[in-house]
Structure 1
Amino acid sequence: MAVFHIGLIINPLAGLGGPAGFKGSDGMADEALALGIEPKAALRTRVALECLLELRDRLQFVTYPGAMGADLLAEMGFSYRLPAGLDADAAHALTTADDTRKAVELLQDANVALILFAGGDGTARDVSAAAREGQPVLGIPAGVKIQSGVYAISPRAAGELTRRLVEGGLVRLARGEVRDIDEAALRGGKVAARWYGELTVPEEGGFVQQVKQGGVESEELVLSDLAAWLEDTWETDVRYVFGPGSTLHGLAGNLGLNTTLLGVDVIENGAVLAADVNEMQLYELIAEHPVRLLVTAIGGQGHILGRGNQQLSPRVVRAIGLDNLRVVATKRKLATLQGRALLVDSGDIALDEAFPDVVKVWAGYREELLYPVEHG
């Protein structure tokens, strides 16, 4: 079974200002500690991680030394490692915003599927300053004030949602606002919040829309919505490779394109450039061109590469780039997997192992889900 890699960052000073009556912790940690206030961020993170204890064999955390993550993970018996180039000597008692930002950068370099971070709005600001576009993050609420929409409603909710992701449940990607109150103004009696950006956050992704009756997803409506999204985002002079399968064939039909059900087709500028191509033809067509590759999962089985689409050879996939691969699947199709991961079996072990722990799945109009991937 594949190991799932999750990043963990704890701001050990988060929440200190509340019990001290400081209306926040920014710049006030020393004063709060001097009053004898005990840090609570690790305790709240523990509550979240307790939801994952039964999955310890499937998880490896990537974290920062000491109180920023490693101490708690070791105490709870989780497998973890520090990012490359960092050792335990990097830990120090009073952490700073720079530590959080550096941690986010290093965890992203380690290709973690999700970054869990514990803190408050100040911590969210620091995460936002370093997070790359599209990097999934989820906050464990541990601060005095939580204005930002990037936090779970409770530590346990953060743990349960992470568990759902690891177990292959439907998890949708959304945009969460990062907001923070000006604490200096607040101490002066004035409440003023500022918008600092947005982060990509997971949320529960069950059947909440596109229904006809009885809560059952309508395949026809979803394919129509997916076609509308793709049509809205067509890139000029980019070649779109459509893999085999009824999902992509139906998507193309909604775009007015006549593609092959079991073949691979190349579309450019809204028209079919080449239909039912073999591997050699496909490789020639993608050479020296920007390309997007759309694949779907085999229903009930879950393969996205290596079954029924051998035209998408390792050299083709490498030439296109994994960053340009998009998985398209309805929630009904994903549900047939019953929580099992998507599978890649390209015949090239190095390529298979280069796949991330989770991929983004297009599942509706501007709706992306996170879903686990395993390789053979």
Structure 2
Amino acid sequence: MNEFEDYRRATEPSARERGYLWQTAIGLQAVDALETSDYLRETARQHIEGAISIAEVKQRIDSYYESKSTRRTVEDRTEEADKVSARITEILSEPSFRFSPVEYITIHRRLFEGIYPHAGKIRDYNITKKEWVLDGQSVLYTGADNIRETLEHDFERERSYDYKAHNLNEAIAHIAKFTSDLWQIHPFGEGNTRTTAVFMIKYLHTFGFDIDNETFAAHSWYFRNALVRANYNNIPKGIFATTEYLERFFRQLILGEAHELKNRFLHVAAASQSANEAAPKRNNSTLSCTLEELALLNFIKEKPNATQKEMAAHIGKSERTIKTMTVKLATEGIIERKNGRRNGYWIITKELNNKINTDS
């Protein structure tokens, strides 16, 4: 993954953004212990530099694996890693998104079409999976007969959650719970974690965040193990389902907090001391803000001269709502207007400015 690090400092915004997307896409293959080929990474570099389009990337990868001389064996899933990485990059680069079970299923179909025969299809059988983090035990997944009903229920419950009425701690805890519940349904035979990750990245962007996906790129296996721990109980052994590990992941992703996202902390046999070493380091100065307010603050930090119309377009709210939010933040002393209304700009108080840097 370090081979794309230089693009994070690129002056060309499009190159920097494409570099982020490829880091995320390739990093997510680790959830199934997959690795991409040198050919994919070189092709990705050409795309990042603007030499070829993402459509050309996909075409080249398809042609590469159509050749008998380069076709991998069934046991070697490099072809899957290469193709899915390109498809993740394509999906994450698209601005369109609809929060619905149909979108979730469509993402799975687009990622795995031609790779799995069940791409985009709800499984009709029950499953178990041995997990390293559980010492070989399995999460209890949703039964095949209840998948569609459970999907609809979880999406409807998420739609009814009012993020404006909750502070950041509550909102992130809720996001972690929704993500873990969605993953536990496990509607597909394979590819659930990558599908869930792509869906959640797209969903979080609807809050107005320019999320640094490096957390997904570098810690995708931690993400999967955190999902497992959020859905496993073994009461006789004193093990209880907990979203605490997943919350640390999202706090780093959304708030830029620094956490030790180490997989050994998640293992059911891990010493309690290790867990304590990874305790969350929370930014108390932002805890009274909502997710929408934090998204607005990050946008103001990047574009202090932005108009209310630009803010509204970025956050996905009305200009009236933006005005209400800026008045509230100004009243609380979090932001301040300089040089008047017409030619002015916003500043964030120095104390808080160091707390909301999502590029940490």
Q: Would you call these one fold, judging by a TM-score over 0.5? A: no
TM-score by length of 1: 0.23
Q: Which one has the largest radius of gyration? A: 1
